[in-house]
Structure 1
Amino acid sequence: MKAFVTGGSGFVGHYLIPMLRERGYQVIALARSKRAAMQVTQLGAKAFPGDLNQQAMAQGMQGCDVVFHIAGFLSIWGDYQSFYETNVIGTEGALAAAQTANVPRFVQMGAAASVFGHQPLSEIDESAPLKQPKFSPYITTKSIAEQRVIAANRPGFKTSVVRPSWIWGNGDHVLPQLLASVKTGRFVWIDQGDYPYMTTHVANACHGAILAARSPGGQAYFLSDGDVVQFRQWITTLLSVAGVEPGRVSLPHWLAWHVAGLMETIWRVTRRKDTPPITRTMVRLIGQELTFSDRKAQTELGYSPIVTREAGLIELANAIKQNGLAQAG
């Protein structure tokens, strides 16, 4: 089996490529720079130079059995066009390249956020509709990208999307950001963090994506760590791994939402280049209940988490102890 991977030098790619190799895949990874090429080569892949360009990718995909499209733009702030070019146009290019190269299967690393609107989400499943809220270019473009992938499914070209929630683990970028916000006094709870939430360890996300390569096609699948955790408990535990305690300041959700909107307006009017301390995308992603069922993935893909929350936290703590946060986070 031969797989083509986009985004292989990123956080998820650092897990996906070795997992594919362990499962017998030859891996070709798109590399936009010499540094990225060196990283994917060290992970066991053959680097293919290029970016999310249809013609270039089609050449690299020749002879492949599956494409894992991991590349994407995740941020709580930015202009819509930047999100659209990477998350939508980049996905369209990868889909077109795969079809040109006659690759029979395509798996996209989507996001649970694709179904986020304004309301909390409680015990939902894949029947929940995709949303394209005006306040969040990230959510909107991930939703559009998923639509493109599912719409491309046809006989001979099976497409699937996996939807993890808060991908975390050794090497992610969220923990350093959390630590920075706590140390600079910018960390604030929303509604005391008193709501249930679900996460997906990066190894579980990759495991689900690999399983989805054998799916019937045309389907999206939520993936989780198999449990529900109170958001406050989750953040407190995550920060404790790095020896830090979060503060106690909390805003009600309605106030956080309006403060975020005000901050966004100020940043746009003044044309500031940095990121506001709070945005509506951030409030929506982590400020409300999110619980869902991944029974569909269990039933159709045979999915179950391969890394428990406890094991993932131990791995993260060991990495920080050995290498420091710069390498672990």
Structure 2
Amino acid sequence: MRTHDPDDLTRPTRIKGRGAASNREGRFEALATTLEDDGWYHEEAGRPRPPTQVAIERARSIISRNESPDIPFTQSINPYRGCEHGCNYCYARPTHSYLNLSPGLDFETRLTAKTNAAERLRSELGKPGYVCEPITLGANTDAYQPIEREYRITREIIEVLHACNHPLTIITKNALVERDLDLLGPMAAKNLVQVFVSINALDNHLASTLEPRASAPHRRLQAIGNLVAAGVPCGVLVSPIIPAVTDMHIEHVLEQAAALGARIAGYTVLRLPHELKTLFREWLDLHVPDRAEHVMSLIRQMRGGRDYDSRFGSRMRGEGAYADLIRQRFRLACRKHGIGRSRELTLDTSRFVAPKPDTPQGSLF
């Protein structure tokens, strides 16, 4: 078992309200920084807590296209870069390296808001060659992360989609989605929207370290009930399943989500691409040091002996005996609680009406 000296500033340590324990350089950085303890730090002074910083971006385009056979959608929008939820396991963390920022603390504290997203979306939907297919919000970083309360970019995007009857799928782990029920309810009545709430465990203490600024698990369950009560089709994503950390919650999450009206469910197993391997190992050493090696051993069993396998077909679900056991447990629990296992409902694309281009005379006709 490995332990950390809380007085050693050169070692990763838990920062309350943050999921990463360090701010290591990304894989494209030419220079590396090494911390040295000069003896001036005193524990009673408290660890510094990095504040959230938000930069404004004027996006050139806003709809991303996807051709991966593992992902059941072809179009998505990410209103923000980085995510304040701070989920330690987030597969999107390595994307911050492309910005010359760390996938660690930078990913959850140095964020970018695409404030012209609605404007760009209106323009792209209005192009003559646009083909209507459902757009997914929250595919990479959560569209309802805490800074959405101030910036309201997700709200503006939904307003555009609502106005032109464009189908929408939302994936989130924040109960803030309830704020937009005045838009989502009418869209649901036209079969234009579905929401997936991501819950991989029901332990509040565990969630506070794994995903510190996401809504608590019980609050996400409540959001499922409120969405369903408003007529919005809702599913649950048990994602990611982490061996010997969250896998014991699979059946309980599905049972409670089904009781609140969730109609469909999906899951993925933990992925550790690029820098995420180191960040997740830091989390294990800090929070479950007695199980750290066992957890990594189970992960490798699902990844052909490696920490990560990027191949299509196996990267989301893993392979081998342990992955098969998870698959069987998930399937049986869905059957027991009457939940479908499809990731997507069929949304209506026939209602789409392209927005009119903005012109100086537009308001006269």
**TM-score, reference length from structure 2:** 0.31
The two structures have a TM-score, normalised by structure 1, of 0.34
User: Counting helix residues as a fraction of each chain, which structure ranks higher?
Assistant: 1
